[in-house]
Structure 1
Amino acid sequence: MQNQPHLTDRVALDRNRARADLQDAMFLHALAQDEIQDRLTMVNKGFTRPAVVTGFPSVWERCVPNAKIVADTEVLALETGAHDLVIHAMGLHWADDPVGQIIQCRRALENDGFFLAVCFGGQTLHQLRASLAQAEVELTGGLSPRVAPMAEIRDLGGLLQRAGLSLPVADTAPLTVTYESPWALMKELRAMGEGNALQNRLRTATSRSLMIRACEIYVESFMKNGRIPATFELIYLTGWAPDDSQPQPLRPGSATNRLADALGASEIKLPK
């Protein structure tokens, strides 16, 4: 794989994850697991050699029975063609090379193997990002990296195609959670293991005045009914390792029936 610019400070990310509260702060992971298990029940296929790529092995080991659990490091510990299911769980937003991660998962699949990923999308924490940015511009005249940049659904869907997966699908499930204050939100983010681990983050402590101003902006701009909302957008990606048994697209111009006939509608000729 080509060298990629480093988005993530891996040492800081591992430290943040090691400090996570795995008992009381993993509700988003629990929701993602429930959704993945529901989706797997809708797939007309049994899986006997699954693998899960995650930064939280003790949380995700119960998602799929007898799955091989591997860390979401730059090079994944997956053997070529060894699995009929690979799940990438809640880590793509920290990947320096997300398409490289998906390509490695694709290579680990046998023909007609299933890939499923869940990660945070671009709308995640947009309220917090906007409040921090406005406060920093007001007080310092500049901006520094504070929240990991997260891809939009269209971009993530494109990664599935670039990775060579068939029948790619990307869909989103935004969730709004409310908190007593921005301080409570930031405390829970740390408990989730989702603190700032960006490579280019400031290495000095953020001034208290900046954080107080950001919280004021958050409350002024977003508070409703005495609580502040925080958006978490979970994006789900699915695709299949190519196989001759899968449905194939028809060659353009090869249709034998008209759409108007299928719809029972009258065809209107366009003026030339």
Structure 2
Amino acid sequence: MTSPTPSSSGPPQIFDARRRQARLSRATPRFRSADFLHARAADNAAESLAAILRDFPVAVDLSAHSGPFAEAVSISDAATRVGPILTPTTQAQRAAPGAHALPLGDESADLIVSLLSLHWANDLPGALAQIKRALKPDGLFIGTLFGAGTLKELRGVLTEAELSERGGAQARVSPFADGYDGAALLQRIGFALPVSDVDRFTVRYPDLFALIRDLRAMGETNVLHGPIRPLTRSVVAKAAALYAERYADADGRIPATFEIVHLAGWKPHESQQKPLERGSAKTRLADALGVREHNGLEP
């Protein structure tokens, strides 16, 4: 199995940034044929903005593929409240979130969006800290990344097939974050009013090869750090057979699970709501619920 490479000057190198950039470059001409996950994430972000009745004059999109968000906003109720959407990063910066300084001044953006990109960050807290620094006070961050259940079927059959055919296996599917830790992570970075939600769904494919074609068109194939031993035809054939045997529906199509973790948080500002201090409540919980309070001493 591939393990993270420690770095003397930074976080462990889980992903290879140059390999990721090459995958993105190769995927660009085909991306529109398999952009449905990015469109889903963009639609959700646009719906969130539509529910917030305020303007975002300076909006920045840090997504690996920048088109879907701008398109989703343009046809949403937020269209007139979101300024021209800037995409200031290079492909190298988009390939490795947090590894390069953002080309944004401190406290310069009202809205920063990063869709389906942050799961490739070697230093996710560092990438989020950069975003927070670039936001104006009371500025909003909206982000999405793939969660832990993504491609769980593919992960299992590839590992089993490689063990069967070679006697050993490498990691072939990236480790993804647990989406339910998202709000706590944002809070740790210093975002106010953090929110995290998980969108879990299944996409059905004719076979394993159709799934792999979509992943390549998205630029979402293996970029784990370190040497990658190419898969042989026998390993891939075994994995395809296992996938069909274990998971195929009655019509022969196979399911692929995806989890999209949605994150949102605000740059702190004095105007924002704050929780009441502990012990400041003026009404007992028992009275509010209309029940009798027990102190634990009564028989």
Answer whether TM exceeds 0.5 for this pair.
yes
Residue 115 (structure 2) aligned to one of 89, 107, 111: 89
The aligned counterpart of 1:37 is 46
| Compared CA separation, residues 172 and 54, structure 1 to 2 (3 A) | same
Mapping 1:192-231, distance limit 5 Å: 192-202=218-228, 204-225=229-250, 226-231=252-257
| Compared CA separation, residues 63 and 81, structure 1 to 2 (3 A) | farther
SS at match of 2:268: coil
Residue 15 (structure 1) aligned to one of 7, 14, 22: 22
1:126-146 deviations in whole A, cap 9, x for unaligned? 010011111122223322121
Percent identity for Structure 1 against Structure 2 = 37
1:239-264 deviations in whole A, cap 9, x for unaligned? 11111111112222221111122222
SS at match of 2:130: helix
Mapping 1:113-128, distance limit 5 Å: 113-128=139-154
Distance 1:160 1:201 in 2: 33
Contact 1:144 1:201 in 2 (8 A): no
Cα deviation, residue 210, structure 1 = 1.0
The aligned counterpart of 1:77 is 103
Contact 1:85 1:115 in 2 (8 A): yes
Contact 1:87 1:115 in 2 (8 A): yes
> Structure 2: which amino acid aligns with 1:6?
Q
> Structure 2: which amino acid aligns with 1:18?
S
Residue 4 (structure 1) aligned to one of 7, 11, 33: 11
Distance 1:17 1:59 in 2: 15
1:24 matched to 2:49: no
Cα deviation, residue 63, structure 1 = 4.5
> Structure 1: which amino acid aligns with 2:129?
I
Q: State the superposition RMSD in angstroms.
A: 1.7
> Structure 1: which amino acid aligns with 2:171?
P
Distance 1:271 1:130 in 2: 53
1:20-64 deviations in whole A, cap 9, x for unaligned? 213211111111111100000111321111111122234444355
Cα deviation, residue 78, structure 1 = 1.9
Instruction: Please give the TM-score of this superposition, normalised by the length of structure 1.
Output: 0.93
The aligned counterpart of 2:171 is 145
Mapping 1:120-269, distance limit 5 Å: 120-202=146-228, 204-225=229-250, 226-269=252-295
Instruction: Please give the TM-score of this superposition, normalised by the length of structure 2.
Output: 0.85
SS at match of 2:143: strand
Distance 1:236 1:157 in 2: 10
Distance 1:267 1:148 in 2: 50
| Compared CA separation, residues 8 and 265, structure 1 to 2 (3 A) | same
Distance 1:127 1:5 in 2: 27
Count residues in correspondence.
270
> Structure 2: which amino acid aligns with 1:94?
W
Contact 2:113 2:141 in 1 (8 A): yes
> Structure 1: which amino acid aligns with 2:134?
A
| Compared CA separation, residues 142 and 271, structure 1 to 2 (3 A) | farther
Cα deviation, residue 269, structure 1 = 4.0
> Structure 2: which amino acid aligns with 1:173?
D
Contact 1:22 1:59 in 2 (8 A): no
**Structure 1 unaligned spans of 5+:** none
**Structure 2 unaligned spans of 5+:** 1-8, 74-82
Contact 1:61 1:69 in 2 (8 A): no
